[in-house]
Each structure stands twice: as structure tokens, then as C-alpha cells.
Amino acid sequence: MDSAELLDILGNENRRRILRLLSRRPCYVTEISEYLGVSPKAVIDHLRKLEDAGLIESRTDDQRRKYFSISRNLRLEVSVSPYEFGMKSAYPASANLDVSRWRYLSLNVQLDAEETDETNETDADDDEERTEAEDGAEDDETVEQATGLAEELDELQQLQRELSLAQRWVHGRIADVQNRLGDALDGEDESRLHAEVLSAVAGGGSSVGEISRAVEAPEHVVDACLSELADGGFVERDEDGEWSLAEK
């Protein structure tokens, strides 16, 4: 899909909230309607647009309820600066990429303190005493500075391209690891949220409040997830009520 069309679709807050919900688990229309607080008719219209765009897909269960889920991994990048405006959408890069061999991926920025602190103040007398030879030397310095900046700009643009590809690679790897983590947690629909909660604990979240903010889910939902993960032996709570990964 064209990036501009995709951006238009995602410009609607309710459609973004639907995608956020579906990133946790597949849902049917009534669940989405209750989550958004809007009518089922409005939800169906949003779902139709998301499905036409190829962002979601649907399936029907044994009770003939239609479930919706996100269909694929897709990354949308928007760049805005005084010198550039651009959009592009891309699928994850191959997991076989050897990112360690990329030339510009490691950025080493060195600032010359003298250069950054230097002032260009000159006295009027100095300006008058300037010779043609000095003017010519300054012209040479200007050319040298411009060519040096042009080379630096080229390197940074190549770094930007490598970073964009690296982000796509990481995006695909994250989705793959999340799938495998979900399978390790029995592969149920709710395992997506369980995986996020478990990841938040691994990242240092120890209280229900911290984990709730990390996964953007209500505290009572997170508390229930933690209890289920504890029953499965994945996490444990100490006597102070703080959560951590279970010792191996």
C-alpha cells in the first residue's frame, strides 16, 4: 500500500486503538466496541478500512463469531526536517542479514571543542589590514570546509539507510521472538499479553504499577497475568510484594 494512504488510515485515533488492541489478542466486534466505547456499526466501518488496507484479517470460530487479528508485520517511517519530508513503508528485512558487517552502523561522533567554542569576532582594524593573500587563504578554507561537510553528509545519509534497514531487521526479529515466547506460554490468545508482562519483568519492572505502565494495560489485568505466570513458574514475588523472573 502507498505510504500516504497508510498514513491517512492510521490518522484516525480509533483505528490506532483497534490495532493496539489486536496486537494483544484477536477480538470480535463486540469486544472492540466495548473497548473503544463506540457503536458496533462504527467499529465495523473501521475494521473494513483496516482490512481493505491489508493490515488486519478475519476468521470465524465454531460459534460463527468473526475474529479480527493483525495480518502481517509492517513498518511505516516518516521523516520531517527543514531539509526533508518523506514517508516509506516496508516489510521486515531478512533475519539472515549480517548487521555486524555494515560499514556505517557504528557511529563515532567527535566534536572539536575548540571549533565549537571558537568565536568569529574580529576587530575593524583587522578587517582593514586584510591582504588579498589572506582573502585567498580564507577562500581555500571555505572550500575545504564545504567539501568536508559534504563528505560527512554522505556518510550520515548512508548511516541513515543502514539504520532504517537495521530497524526493519529488528522489527522482524522482535515479532519472531514474541511468537516463540507466546508458544512457550502455551500459545493461547492471552499469551501475547502474558509475553509482554513477562518481558516487562525481565526489563526490571517489579511492581504492578510499573509493569502496567510498561505494557499499557490496566493494573487489575496485569495483576491477573502475574498471578497466572507465577502459577506457571515463570515469575515469583518476594515478601515485599515485588515481582521478578523465577530463578532457573
Distance CA 211, CA 178 (A): 17
**pLDDT tens for each residue of 67-91:** 999 998 888 888 888 878 888 887 7
Residue 178 lies in a domain: no
Q: Can you tell me whether residue 162 is helix, strand or coil?
A: helix
Residue 195 lies in a domain: yes
In the chain, the number of structural domains is: 3
Same domain assignment for residues 59 and 21? yes
Contact at 8 Å (CB) between 116 and 199? no
Same domain assignment for residues 165 and 195? no
Distance CA 99, CA 111 (A): 27
**Structural domain boundaries, residue 25:** 3-70
**pLDDT tens for each residue of 95-152:** 777 766 666 665 544 444 444 444 444 444 555 555 555 566 677 788 888 888 888 8
Residue 79 lies in a domain: no
Same domain assignment for residues 153 and 107? yes
What are the φ and ψ backbone dihedral angles of 237, each rounded to 5 degrees? -120, 135
What is the structure's pLDDT at 135?
62
Q: DSSP 3-state helix, strand, coil percentages of the chain (rounded to 5)?
A: 55, 15, 30
Q: Residue 199 maps to which CATH number?
A: 1.10.10.10
**pLDDT tens for each residue of 145-199:** 888 888 888 888 888 888 888 888 887 888 788 778 877 776 555 677 888 899 8
pTM, full prediction: 0.59
What is the structure's pLDDT at 69?
92
Cell numbers linked to 56: 488486519
Same domain assignment for residues 157 and 198? no
Residue 124 lies in a domain: yes
| Cα-based distances in Å from 225 to 30, 104, 139, 200 | 23, 42, 68, 12
Q: Which residues contact 156 (CB under 8 A, 6 or more apart)?
A: none
Residue 80 lies in a domain: no
Length of the chain in residues, anyone? 248
